[in-house]
Structure 1
Amino acid sequence: MPSHDTPPEVVAFGEAMTMFVAEHLGELSEVEHFQRRIAGADTNVAIGLARLGFHVGWLSRVGDDSFGHYIRRTLEAEGLDCRHLINDPDHPTGLVFKARAAHGADPHVEYWRHGSAASRLSPSDATAVDVGAWRHLHATGIPPALSASCRELSFHMLDKAREAGASISFDPNLRPSLWRSEAEMASTLNAMAAKADWVLPGLAEGQRLTGLETAHDIAGFYLERGVKAVIIKLGPEGSYYRGVLGGQEESFTIAGIPVPTVVDTVGAGDGFAVGVISALLDGRAPREALRRGNLIGAEAVQVRGDMEGLPHRDHLASLEASSDTSKGQ
């Protein structure tokens, strides 16, 4: 595990919530027993990268309450550097309740996050961050949807990463219900994407944000705005890449990895992001990065929980070795 005596090399920010997952199938109104977990697309990616050996810092706010203390303990146990996780005595930790769904269907989820501590994040919370140590920043479209001050922080973090020369990944992670309008969501997230190096939308997200239909055209939309590479999630069909490397444009599709049983689809996109980002930070070629993204995404859907399927480095090595062996047969 990396030493936390030094500032983190990879940074993520956003809202972590305490999640209660139904133990049995059925409507949430009928469920009596829940298991406690943590939830948040940003933390899923942060945890996934930490499990692969990166020194990951987490910037956020939690309430100075039992749920906030639980989140801090959980993230630190996963290896995250929480020096920039602020305890807010005046606002609560956000909560989320998740139903159990059968046959791999998307589960029903209900949020209790209005007025949460994380929604009070602002650029002033990042004043003590040592940006000179940054190697990579991961951002999503969730924080800017939470509040005006979170939106200011989002652009502040992207600008600071640019100034530091760090690479930036951006996953739109659309949450339309949190935005005042579709137009505001699209304009804000496209502006954030334009500041990133690697943009990772799902196909439907890309269509919604750009008004374009094909993966090729969606990628072109962002490449024209200065992005280096666009990696589009295609679900079970795999993923699509279009980018510029060494002055040459390249595009290709990597087929998805079949899974015997889909248990829980939540967190699959975050697992894919972990695979792609970690591989690119490892110096792997884009094709290898997409294969790793597909591989971890496939692992994520085979277990119950948002981040339970994210592998540690030794398990990833065995997964990649097995994948290479099966391709050779």
Structure 2
Amino acid sequence: MNTRRREEVEFDCISMGEVMLRLDPGDGRVRTTRQFRAWEGGGEYNVARGLKRCFGLRTSIVTSLVRNEVGLLLEDLIYQGGVDSSEVKWRDFDGIGREARNGLNFTERGFGMRAAKGCSDRANTAVSQLKVGDVDWDALFGERGTRWFHTGGIFAALSESTAELTIEACRKAKEYGVCVSYDLNYRPSLWDAIGGKQKAQEVNQAIAPYVDVMIGNEEDFTACLGFEVEGVDHANVTGLDESHFKSMIEKVVAAYPNFKAVATTMRDVVTASINDWGAILWYEGSFYSATHRPGLEIFDRVGGGDSFASGLIYGLMELGDPALAVEYGAAHGALAMTTAGDTTMARLDEVKKLVAGGSARVDR
């Protein structure tokens, strides 16, 4: 990918999205637990954190938080993740969160035939109120500078104003020669509140002309851009056929010739604890497939797709090799799903080892 030179800019990647407090009951269930572990997480933020913590790149997050104890906890977690927080837009706390609040996400990781389950409490959050004019893109992209900008459909679906802000951000990024990646990340619980699939397609089709690298799974491309994948039952996703995805992607790139790359994970859900896992990448006219990992054991699936995205971005931006990029993405996603929480605990040497075919034998 042609990006700005590292020495010209302050950041390698800037992400824009919501950062929520994830409350995790561990092995139990939200409805019966008496204690939670606290993490930070959010689709677009997870990518920035993965690029920093696993791949060692300079990253920042554009988001908004309410300045209260929960917001300060989230700030501290962002610090621990190594992501620059200078573009956090702080809101004053009114005492009860009537005007704005910080988002919460209660998440069960599932086991066996019990599926993972998320219960979001994110209405009226500070970040959902961000609007056009709140971010000085000329200062961020022009003066401070970045090689890459990443955002996605979760942020765009938070409200009418975040949808408009996403379009503005992607357009301004292109004005400054910044490579743009976008993860469709369809969430019906968000889009239903502002117009459903029709609104999702309207917004995502307006964003797509500014995107260089489009990322999504089979449901994402169907719901957000209107491209069907032959033979996929969205209610029970099994038996995914790579050839059907390639056929769909060919239609996508014909409709959006500005796309330099299109990537999708391929997840066959056997149980919550066992998934078949793979990925494919279309890059400037050719397809590249990651090593297929059937029967992958899952500890916590949330964030696997975000870790795929960060590994893919690293491979495209730093290695310049599409075949390695999709391998790094799939390996990083697989490793991220072996640990708890939304965010990766993997390191670059572990990703390299898995890409090279390394086993799970003990390291001593």
Q: TM-score w.r.t. structure 1 length?
A: 0.89
Match of 2:33 in 1: 31
Say if 1:233 and 1:190 are closer, same or farther in 2 by CA, change over 3 A. farther
> Deviations 1:6-37 (Å, cap 9, x if unpaired)?
732310011101111013323x2222111111
Question: 1 or 2 for the larger relative contact order (CA 8 Å, sep ≥6)?
Answer: 2
Match of 2:198 in 1: 183
Q: Determine if the alignment matches structure 1 residue 289 to structure 2 residue 325.
A: yes
Distance 1:227 1:260 in 2: 31
Map 1:18-57 onto structure 2 (within 5 A): 18-26=21-29, 28-51=30-53, 52-57=55-60
Match of 2:185 in 1: 173
What displacement does 1:191 show? 2.6
Report the residue type matching 1:240 in the other structure. I
Q: Determine if the alignment matches structure 1 residue 83 to structure 2 residue 86.
A: yes
Say if 1:259 and 1:65 are closer, same or farther in 2 by CA, change over 3 A. farther
- Give runs of ≥4 in structure 1 deviating > 6 Å: none
- Other structure's SS at 1:193 match: helix
Contact 1:57–1:84, Cα closer than 8 Å, also in 2:
yes
Report the residue type matching 1:264 in the other structure. D
Match of 2:273 in 1: none
Q: Determine if the alignment matches structure 1 residue 218 to structure 2 residue 248.
A: yes
Match of 2:239 in 1: none
- Other structure's SS at 2:31 match: helix
What displacement does 1:174 show? 0.6
Correspondence for 1:279 among 309, 315, 318: 315
Say if 1:286 and 1:47 are closer, same or farther in 2 by CA, change over 3 A. same
Q: Determine if the alignment matches structure 1 residue 107 to structure 2 residue 116.
A: yes
What displacement does 1:215 show? 1.4
Say if 1:47 and 1:177 are closer, same or farther in 2 by CA, change over 3 A. same
Q: Percent identity?
A: 25
Report the residue type matching 2:228 in the other structure. L
Size of the aligned set, in residue pairs, is: 314
Map 1:1-329 onto structure 2 (within 5 A): 7-26=10-29, 28-51=30-53, 52-89=55-92, 90-103=99-112, 106-127=115-136, 129-132=139-142, 133-179=145-191, 180-208=195-223, 209-213=225-229, 214-224=244-254, 225=256, 226-235=258-267, 236-244=276-284, 249-258=285-294, 261-309=297-345, 311-323=346-358
> Deviations 1:113-149 (Å, cap 9, x if unpaired)?
1100111112322116420212100111011111121
Distance 2:279 2:355 in 1: 17
Distance 1:317 1:257 in 2: 16
Report the residue type matching 2:122 in the other structure. R
> RMSD value over aligned CA atoms?
2.1
**Relative to structure 2, which stretch is displaced further, 254-263 or 146-155?**
254-263
Distance 2:23 2:247 in 1: 39
What displacement does 1:155 show? 0.9
Distance 1:277 1:206 in 2: 19
- Other structure's SS at 2:327 match: helix
- Other structure's SS at 1:206 match: helix
Say if 1:106 and 1:136 are closer, same or farther in 2 by CA, change over 3 A. farther
Report the residue type matching 2:24 in the other structure. V
- Other structure's SS at 1:158 match: helix
> Deviations 1:74-131 (Å, cap 9, x if unpaired)?
1122111111102111511111111241138542111111100111112322116420
What displacement does 1:288 show? 0.7
Q: TM-score w.r.t. structure 2 length?
A: 0.80
- Other structure's SS at 2:39 match: strand
Contact 1:259–1:302, Cα closer than 8 Å, also in 2:
no
Say if 1:105 and 1:159 are closer, same or farther in 2 by CA, change over 3 A. farther
Q: Which runs of 5+ in 1 are unaligned?
A: 1-5
> Deviations 1:166-220 (Å, cap 9, x if unpaired)?
1111110111121122111122123323311111111232233323223123312
Say if 1:289 and 1:106 are closer, same or farther in 2 by CA, change over 3 A. farther
Q: Which runs of 5+ in 2 are unaligned?
A: 1-8, 93-98, 230-243, 268-275
What displacement does 1:258 show? 4.6
What displacement does 1:316 show? 3.3
- Other structure's SS at 1:9 match: strand
Distance 2:140 2:206 in 1: 25
